[in-house]
Amino acid sequence: MRVSTSAYGALVSLSLLSVACDNGTPMFSESVAGVSAGAVKSAAGPGEDAIGQENYANDPIPVDDSTPADRGEVSPAAATLTSWTFQASTMGEGSLNYQASQKMSSQSITMDNNVLASEKVFTQVDRPMLTEVFSQGSELKKQSEAFKQNASAQGALDLLLVIDNSGSMKEEQENLSGKLAPLLSFVKDSDWRIGVVTTDPNDGCLRALISKSDVNANAAFATAVQPGIKGSGNERGILQAVNGLKGQCNPTGSWLRNQSTVGVLIVSDEDNCSAGKDCGNEAYTQGSYLTDYLSSIRQPGLNARVYGLIGHPSLSAQQCTTMAAKANIYAAVIDETGGSWGSICAADYSGTLQAISKDISAILLTQFTLQFKPTPGSVKVYIDGKLQSAGYTVHDNVIEFASAPIAGSTVSFQYEFSAEAPKSEFALGSNAVSSSIKVYLDGVESKAFSYDLGTGSIKFASAPTAKAIKAVYRRGDELPKSFQMDGGISLARMSVKVNGSALAANAYSYNAQTGVLLLNAAPADKATVVVNADKVLEHALDYAIQIGTASMSAWDNATGKVISAGFGNGFVSFAEADYTPGRKVLVKGLAAVSWKVPLGASVMSEGLSVSAEGRTCETYQIADAVLDLTPCGYAVGSVVKVAFNFEKERREAFDLAMLEDINLENAKWTVKVNGTETKDYKVISGQLHITSLPMKALIEVTMEGSGAPIM
Domains of the chain and CATH, by start: 7-93+650-707 (no CATH), 102-125+480-592 (no CATH), 130-149+370-478 (no CATH), 152-366 (3.40.50.410), 602-644 (no CATH)
The span from the first CA to the last CA of the chain, in angstroms, equals 51
Which tens digits make up the pLDDT trace of 238-249?
Answer: 999 999 999 877
pLDDT at 41: 35
Give the Cα separation of 609 and 644 in Å (integer).
7
Among 405, 399, 455, residue whose Cα is nearest residue 430: 455
In this model, does residue 12 exceed pLDDT 50?
no
**Most confident segment among 57-61, 248-252, 378-382, 687-691:** 378-382
**Most confident segment among 6-15, 193-202, 531-540:** 193-202
In this model, does residue 326 exceed pLDDT 50?
yes
Give the Cα separation of 154 and 408 in Å (integer).
12
pLDDT at 112: 84
Q: For the stretch 150-167, what's the b/e string if a residue is b when 16 or more beta carbons lie within 10 angstroms of its beta carbon?
A: eeebbbbbbbbbbbbbbe
Strand pairing of 304-310 and 341-343?
A: parallel
Strand pairing of 501-502 and 542-544?
A: unpaired
Amino acid at 634: Y
Amino acid at 152: S
Amino acid at 392: Y
3-class DSSP assignment, residue 584: strand
pLDDT at 538: 75
**Most confident segment among 33-47, 243-257, 340-354:** 340-354
Overall residue count recorded for the chain in this entry: 711
pLDDT at 662: 62
Other beta carbons within 10 Å of 218? 15
In this model, does residue 65 exceed pLDDT 80?
no
Q: Name the residue with higher pLDDT: 307 or 52.
A: 307
3-class DSSP assignment, residue 436: helix
Q: Name the residue with higher pLDDT: 685 or 142.
A: 142
In this model, does residue 15 exceed pLDDT 90?
no
pLDDT at 421: 66
HSE toward the beta carbon, residue 604, CA cutoff 13 A: 15
3-class DSSP assignment, residue 52: coil
Give the Cα separation of 115 and 133 in Å (integer).
57
Mean pLDDT to the nearest integer, 149-173: 91
Q: Which residues pair with 343 in a beta bridge?
A: 310
Amino acid at 687: Q
Work out the burial of residue 332: count CB atoms within 10 Å of its CB; fewer than 13 is exposed, 13-18 middle, 19 or more buried.
Answer: middle
Other beta carbons within 10 Å of 211? 11
Cβ neighbours for 419, distance < 8 A, ≥ 6 positions apart: 137, 139, 140, 141
Mean pLDDT to the nearest integer, 602-630: 91
Does pTM surpass 0.85?
A: no
pLDDT at 637: 87
Largest CA distance in the chain: 139
In this model, does residue 616 exceed pLDDT 90?
yes
Among 62-71, 223-232, 368-377, name the one with the lowest average pLDDT.
62-71
**Between vectors from CA 437 to CA 431 and to CA 438, what angle results, nearest 5°?**
145
Find the DSSP H helices in 210-272.
217-224, 237-246
Compute the mean pLDDT over every residue in the chain, rounded to the nearest whole number.
Answer: 84
Other beta carbons within 10 Å of 610? 21
CA separation, residue 618 to residues 301, 343, 448, 455, 615 (Å): 103, 105, 100, 101, 10
Mean pLDDT to the nearest integer, 601-624: 91
pLDDT at 689: 93
CB 264 within 8 A of CB 290: yes
Which tens digits make up the pLDDT trace of 163-186?
Answer: 999 999 999 999 999 999 999 999
pLDDT at 64: 43
DSSP string covering 501-561: EEPPGGGEEEETTTTEEEESSPPPTT-EEEEEEEEE-----EEE--S-SEEEEEEETTT--
pLDDT at 665: 65
In this model, does residue 138 exceed pLDDT 70?
no
> Given its phi and psi angles, is residue 404 left (phi above 0), alpha (psi -120 to 50 degrees) or beta?
beta
CB 34 within 8 A of CB 117: no
